[in-house]
Structure 1
């Protein structure tokens, strides 16, 4: 059975979370770009990660349900990314019951996707693949979502993962690919956690290691790390080869910046990769952000990308903040906040 290719965003970053209004607005942004998917998986939602066993407070749950319904009404794919923290370290009857209850709660959402995320957790465990596959098999039995996605603990060839999360067990990737149901998508970020380029050879190597095509979790233009939080990435996504080959890629989700509206120019490149026909009009950022802001962003894009905050003098940052504060729209406010240091680095993000 041919499945839809999921192309869109994964809200999967650390640090300052997006506001509910911005998440709702992204449905229209995705449609304007010709994209089809939003995966809600912010690291800052404790009821998805460190406190996953607990239920959301009523207000937060209502907002999440409203978000899921909003995307369903727009005809877009919406999903939630659950990170049951270190569950694979001890998965007994009690933990299994807690996970079943959480999945049943998520079944109340009108969400067509569910992701189980084992990323950025300790992984030096001999039976890691077996325990994670056991968890995913249970989730498949309990979940009403039409499609399940999984992020491995080791989701890239990048050696930084073993430095932070322990040595990867032997044969982890082939074992995980063999043990997971064939219909489960497996996330991959490229040869690096934040890959500057992804080649066809990279994708073939990853698909070969896992024994199946990968779902790209593209960490561009995300800027939540110690180094990347110093910068804004406004250039359209580029240097992605081979992504159109369904034998190696089943979908492509970009992890945006903490500045959600300012991420739209980067997502124009994602839209262009998969567009049928002419693709999105190059003037779309101007339409979505406003003409005056877009002119300023084009002028300053290289400085924001290369010099970043640490490469600018305090006087320069202050002058730019004053200029952007005079521009209309919430996207200009994102730039002002970044220039003033409001998007502080979250030290929980270890893999810049």
Structure 2
């Protein structure tokens, strides 16, 4: 069973260009990617400065992209992260939120994400506070499907260390209090889950009182450590059998939009082929479809360096050889590799703290 597949542009660092977004939709829609959630952490008007309205020019860009999605039969959505709104959901906050919702709804949203991720959450009454906000938004979101990312969106204890200990029964309370039509996101047993199992998803379904909407953190490569690596390999650890246990499967793509299409295509193939799926063969087919035979072969031959060794450990000699190899190709994916070698997407801790 193939679930609803889609793209979540939800990473830290440099966001995509509008042209890159449209090209990704065009490339992946034929393989079953049916939604795109625009939610880059670097868009301050969706996160830390969410109270500030979008300019007319920014709204026009969003509107144009929404139309590009619809031309390919892809649902268009925006992920709003009203930073720390649950600390003081007063009349002024409601007025600002209402104004922002009016702008977003005017785009004709198919999906509206309400994301409480990556902000402090150690409040005993966190769930009821967030439920009140979501209910308020639901009454003003028009026909858009609501997709909520909880503050604690994984079992991974790293969230408790960084954002404070999660309240007791937080997920159960959230699932019990939210309307059954509202989707709840989940990244798995870890922030960047190595695999998803039917048993794990069944347990989360019980907590949520609904099937989880997967926010899959592969092939994303943001952050000071992951930005040193290109995530190009085919999907593994996502057996087709999980399709019956999830509401949808969204992938948080890498900072390199063209290269991201390679693993994205393999996920669709994994669901399509089921137990017949072979990840190396899937990689080769996807790489050739995105890159053409010659560039696909060049990337496969250097996969250990690009994905495993990583930029910071290449050394000048190997970096020079890679630059020479990929400079020979006139292809946007080759240019992405060259820009990565030059440090174009490297971000620091301060980016995580300010975006």
Return the TM-score normalized by structure 2.
Answer: 0.92
Contact 1:150–1:186, Cα closer than 8 Å, also in 2: yes
Which deviations, in whole Å up to 9, do the C-alpha atoms of 1:299-335 show, x marking residues without a partner?
Answer: 1112222111122112211221232122111111110
Pick the structure with more helix per residue. Answer: 2
The partner residue of 1:301 within 286, 300, 303 is 303
SS in 1 for 2:288: helix
1:149 is matched with 147
With over 3 angstroms needed to count, the CA separation of the structure-2 counterparts of 1:36 and 1:282, relative to structure 1, is farther
- Cα distance change on mapping 1:227 and 1:281 into 2, 3 Å: closer
Distance 2:187 2:321 in 1: 37
1:137 has 2:135 as partner: yes
- Hey, what does 2:248 align to over in structure 1? 251
**Closer/same/farther in 2, CA of residues 282 and 306 from structure 1, 3 Å limit:** closer
How far apart in 1 are the matches of 2:228 and 2:321? 17
Q: Quickly say closer, same or farther: Cα 1:196–1:258, change in 2 above 3 A.
A: same
* 2: CA distance, partners of 1:126 / 1:87: 16
CA contact (8 A) 1:14 1:346 kept: no
**Matched residues in 1 for 2:237 and 2:93: separation?**
42
Return 290-299 or 19-28, whichever deviates more: 290-299
Matches within 5 A, 1:1-352: 5-241=3-239, 242-245=241-244, 248-275=245-272, 283-347=285-349, 348-349=351-352
Query: Aligned to 1:101, what secondary structure does the other structure show?
Result: helix
Instruction: Answer yes or no: is the 8 Å Cα contact 1:189–1:218 preserved in 2.
Output: yes
Q: Offset at 1:84?
A: 0.4
Residue by residue, what CA displacement relative to the aligned partner does 1:104-160 show, whole Å, maximum 9, x if unpaired? 111111321110000000001111101111111111100124311000000000000
The alpha-carbon distance between structure 1 residues 297 and 342, as it changes in their structure 2 partners (threshold 3 A), is same
CA distance in 1, matches of 2:154, 2:338: 34
TM-score normalised by L of structure 1:
0.93
The separation in 1 between residues aligned to 2:235 and 2:9, in whole angstroms, is 17
After the TM superposition, which of the residue ranges 97-106 and 80-89 deviates more from structure 2? Answer: 97-106
User: C-alpha displacement at 1:172, in angstroms?
Assistant: 0.5
Distance (whole Å) between structure 2 residues aligned to residue 131 and residue 58 of structure 1: 32
Q: What's the offset of the Cα at 1:216?
A: 0.3
Change (3 A) 1:167 1:281: closer
State whether residues 321 and 340 of structure 1, in contact with CA within 8 Å, keep that contact through their aligned partners in structure 2: no
- Once residues 260 and 239 of structure 1 are traced to their aligned partners in structure 2, the CA distance between those partners, rounded to angstroms, is 22
Query: 3-state SS of the aligned residue for 2:352?
Result: coil
Following superposition, the deviation at residue 5 of structure 1 comes to: 4.6
SS at match of 1:36: strand
Checking the alignment, whether the CA contact within 8 Å between 2:3 and 2:243 is kept in structure 1 is no
Cα distance between partner residues in 1 of 2:341 and 2:203: 40
Distance in 1, Cα, partners of 2:41 & 2:346: 15
CA shift for structure 1 position 62: 1.2
Deviation of residue 73 (structure 1)?
A: 2.1
For structure 1, the residue ranges without an aligned partner over 5 or more in a row are none
Q: How far has the Cα of 1:281 moved from its partner?
A: 10
How many angstroms apart in 1 are the aligned matches of 2:222 and 2:284? Answer: 27
CA deviation map 1:61-105 (0-9, x unaligned) = 211110011111221111000000000011011111211111111
**How many residues are matched?**
345
Q: Which runs of 5+ in 2 are unaligned?
A: none
The question of whether the paired residues in 2 share the 8 Å contact of 1:317 and 1:340 is answered with: no
Residue 113 of structure 2 aligns to a residue whose secondary structure is strand
